Structure 1
Amino acid sequence: MGQNPTRSTRTVRIVCISDTHNDVLLPENVPGGDIFIHAGDMTDNGTFEELEAAYKWISALSHEVKVVIGGNHDMDLDPFHHKTTRESYHKARNLFTSAEARSKGIYYLDSEVQHVSLSKKEAPGKPQVKIPVYGNPYQPEFMGTKWAFIYDPFPSDQSHQIWAHAPKKEDNVGIWVSHGGPKNRLDKIPTYPNLEGCYVQAEKISKARPMLCVFGHFHTSYGIERAQFGDEESSDGSFDPVKVENITKKDFSGAYDFSHNSPEGELKKGKETVFVNAAWFTGHGEAKLLPDRNRPVVIDMDFPC
C-alpha cells in the first residue's frame, strides 16, 4: 500500500459490513483499515439500549473514519417511525452525532453527503485525502410491514422523493452507502422473490458513478461486483439504469484490490463502480456463533488527494 510520490492519489483501505443485528464485534473480529462502513441494521429492534451497544463497539474500532447509516431495524433513528418519539429519536441520533462520536471518527449519514478526511498524522508518509460520502438509510417495502426507513416501491411518488436529492455526477461522490441496494445488484432473497433493490436508486447511481457502493439488507446476496457502465443513453434514446456493460463477480475471499497495485487494473473512475453487499448475517438459518457469519469485506481503492 505504498504511495508513489508522483501520484495524486492515495490508496485507502475500506472495511465494509452491514446487518450485524445486535452482534457485538470485537476489534479482532474486524480487519484494520482507514475507513469502516456500517450500512445499517446495527440492531434487531432499534431501541436506545441496542443502539448504544452498537455505538460502543463501533466507536472502539481503530479505523480513523467510521461511516454509519441506519437500517430498517434501527427504529429509534427514524423520526417518522410510528414507535419513535421525539425524545427517543434525539437520544438515539445523538449517540452517533455528538462531539464525542465525531472525536472517535464517526460520521452518521442520513440522506446526505459528508466529506470524510483521512489525515497524514494517522498514516505517516501518506497524503491527506478528503472523500465525499453519501449515505441513505431507506429501502422500498414490498411486504406491507412497518419497519423503519421504508417507502412504497417504484414507480411510487415516494420512491422518487427519497432519492430526489441524491448526488449527481458533478458532485464527485466517491462512496455511496445505502441500506437497501439498487435493483439488480446483489439484491435477491430466494425465499422472497418479490423483494428487490430500488430502481430509482439504480438510476441515480448509474448517473452519479461513485467508485464504491456499499449496502446490505439482502442477507443471502452477500458478495461483490465490479460493474462497468455503458453509454448513459442508447442510440434510440432509451436508458436502462439497471443494466451495465460488464459485471465481474468476485470470489468470497473477503479482501479485494482495485488500486493501482491491482493485477486486474485500477478501477476506472467515472466508468466503473464496485458494488458490495456486506451483510454480516447470512440469511441461512443463523447460528449463534460469530464464525458462522459472513466476513467483513475489505476494499483497497485509490482516491484523489
Structure 2
Amino acid sequence: MRLVCISDTHSMHRQVTVPDGDVLIHAGDCLGVGTLEELEDLDNWFSEQPHRHKILVAGNHDWCLQDEPADAEALIRNAIYLRDCGTEIEGVKFWGSPWTPVFFDWAFNLTRGPAIAERWAKIPADTDVLITHGPPAGILDQVITATHSQAVGCDDLARELERLTLKMHLFGHIHESYGQQTVNDCLFVNASTCTGSYKPLNPPIVVDL
C-alpha cells in the first residue's frame, strides 16, 4: 500500500504536486484562516486527486472543524475525516486525532497532562498507522529559528506510544522538522508541506507500507 503524506498546506493545496498512490493522507492545518469556504475548496481538490482513498485529520488552524463541526464535517464528502476515531483500509488500521498541547490560543489545543493524555489513551492497541497533527516529544519536533531551537512535541503522546506497536506515525505541525525518522521499527513522518516561512515547498512524503 502506497501512502502519500502531506500536512500544513494552509489552503495552498493547489500549489502542491501530489504523486499517485493508494491513500492520500493530510495530517492537519489544511486551512489558512479556518473557514467553511476554505474547507469546501479543499474537499473539491480531494475529489480531483486520483488516489482511491483519502484521509483528513484537523489541525490547530482548522477552526471551522472545531467551532462548527456539524457544518464543517458535512462538507467533507471526498475524504475520510478522523477525529479521535479510526478506519480500516485493505487490512491496515488507521487512527486520527487533531489535538496538540496548548500554544497561544489555537483550535484543538489541550493542556499537557490528563486533558490531552485522555485523548491519546483512546488510540487502539492494534493501530497500524497513527495520524496526529502534532509530533510526540523528541521526534521531529524541533522549532528552529536563527538563534535557537526548541523541542515542543507532546510528552503525553510519547508516553502513550510505548504501549503501541505502530508501523508508522504521521504528523506535521512543526514545519521546520519536516522529514522522516525510524525509531524502534516505527517510521515517524513529519509531512509539513509548508516551510517555517509558510511557503509550500516541501514535497509530499511517499511511504510504501
* TM class by smaller structure: over 0.9
**What is the match of residue 161 of structure 1?**
118
2:190 alignment partner AA:
N
Alignment of 1:97-112 (within 5 A): 101=77, 104=78, 106-112=79-85
User: Normalising to structure 2: TM-score of the pair?
Assistant: 0.93
Whole-angstrom CA distance in 2 between matches of 1:161 and 1:35: 28
Secondary structure in 1 matching 2:142: coil
| Cα RMSD for the two superposed structures | 1.7
Whole-angstrom CA distance in 1 between matches of 2:62 and 2:186: 27
Deviations, residues 74-126 of structure 1 (Å, cap 9, x unaligned): 01111xxxxx2xxx321111112xxxx2xx4x21100112212xxxxxxxxxx
Identity level (%): 35
Secondary structure in 2 matching 1:54: helix
Cα offset for 1:194? 5.1
User: Normalising to structure 1: TM-score of the pair?
Assistant: 0.64
Whole-angstrom CA distance in 1 between matches of 2:17 and 2:96: 24
Aligned partner of 1:36 among 24, 32, 35: 24
Q: Which has the higher contact order (CA 8 A, sep 6+)?
A: 2
Q: 1:194 to 1:158 in 2, by over 3 A?
A: farther
1:199 matched to 2:155? The reply is yes
Cα offset for 1:24? 3.0
Structure 1 gaps, min length 5: 1-11, 79-83, 117-128, 229-271
**What is the match of residue 193 of structure 2?**
280
Whole-angstrom CA distance in 2 between matches of 1:187 and 1:218: 6
Whole-angstrom CA distance in 2 between matches of 1:273 and 1:58: 28
1:275 alignment partner AA:
F
**What is the match of residue 107 of structure 2?**
148
Structure 2 gaps, min length 5: none
1:149 alignment partner AA:
F
1:89 matched to 2:89? The reply is no
**What is the match of residue 4 of structure 1?**
none
**What is the match of residue 165 of structure 2?**
209
Whole-angstrom CA distance in 2 between matches of 1:215 and 1:221: 11
C-alpha contact (below 8 Å) 2:87/2:94 kept by paired residues: yes
**What is the match of residue 294 of structure 1?**
202
Aligned partner of 1:73 among 61, 69, 76: 61
Pick the structure with greater CA Rg: 1
Cα offset for 1:286? 3.7
Whole-angstrom CA distance in 2 between matches of 1:195 and 1:93: 32
Question: Which is worse superposed, 61-70 or 28-37?
Answer: 28-37
Secondary structure in 1 matching 2:143: coil
**What is the match of residue 182 of structure 1?**
136
Aligned partner of 1:137 among 92, 98, 102: 98
Whole-angstrom CA distance in 2 between matches of 1:115 and 1:177: 13
Secondary structure in 2 matching 1:25: helix
Whole-angstrom CA distance in 2 between matches of 1:173 and 1:94: 26
Tell me the number of residue pairs that the alignment of Structure 1 and Structure 2 aligns. Answer: 207
C-alpha contact (below 8 Å) 1:67/1:108 kept by paired residues: yes
